[in-house]
Amino acid sequence: MRSRRLTLAALAFCAAPLPALAHPHIFAEARLEVVAGADGNVAELQNVWRFDEVFSSSVLLDFDKNTDLKLDAKELAELGETMRKSLADYHYFTTITVNGASVGVTKPDVIHATLDGNQLLVIFAVKPEKPVQLKGRLTFGIYDPTMYTSIDFPTDKDLIAKGAGFAKCQHKVVRPDPDEIISQNSASLTDAFFNDPTGTDMTKLFATRLEVTC
């Protein structure tokens, strides 16, 4: 049990998922600000994630090296760096599409971690790995493709476009209806699961996203 919990915390919930674990075990509330640059491109995506108290407690237990029941600056920095490295394989749960084509993100310079009361708070920014012009149909979202972590935006105001470059664009927050998604994609969802139950990327269909049309 100790080993399993340590793996989850130390790898920042990126342990290899199993088919039997294809539902959330970790919960986080998020805020995402998509920032436009002066050059007419997307500059960066700024993230704030607040994790549930159960997972936050396990992180405290596993990264509290001096066993004083709190995380000091060094321990928090170690936690942030562990997350920065391990989440790279999952693109920091970030999805960007341009006219339907996916665009990756670069590794953040740093992930800031702190405990706010009994909850782990994580703050970081990522940039598109190639220029993303504010042109056409763009989407931005945060989701865990393994379905191990549930990331929710409490209100539409927690997923916003920021910067003068977006003034010429229309944008809206889309919250897909799960029943509708399953009904419309039942065949592809079934095929994806049986072909690769641990590595499908179909959960993006269910993810809340910001849609921008410029």
pTM: predicted TM-score of the whole model, two decimal places? 0.82
pLDDT tens, position by position, 23-37:
678 999 999 999 999
Number of compact structural domains in the chain:
1
pLDDT tens, position by position, 67-118:
998 999 999 999 999 999 999 988 999 999 999 999 999 999 999 999 999 9
* Structural domain containing residue 178: 2-213
Chain centre distance of CA 60? 21
| CA 167/CA 85 separation, integer angstroms | 35
Return the amino acid letter for 186: S
* Phi, psi of 79, deg, nearest 5: -60, -45
- Count CB-CB contacts under 10 A for residue 145: 19
| CA 150/CA 157 separation, integer angstroms | 19
| CA 67/CA 61 separation, integer angstroms | 8
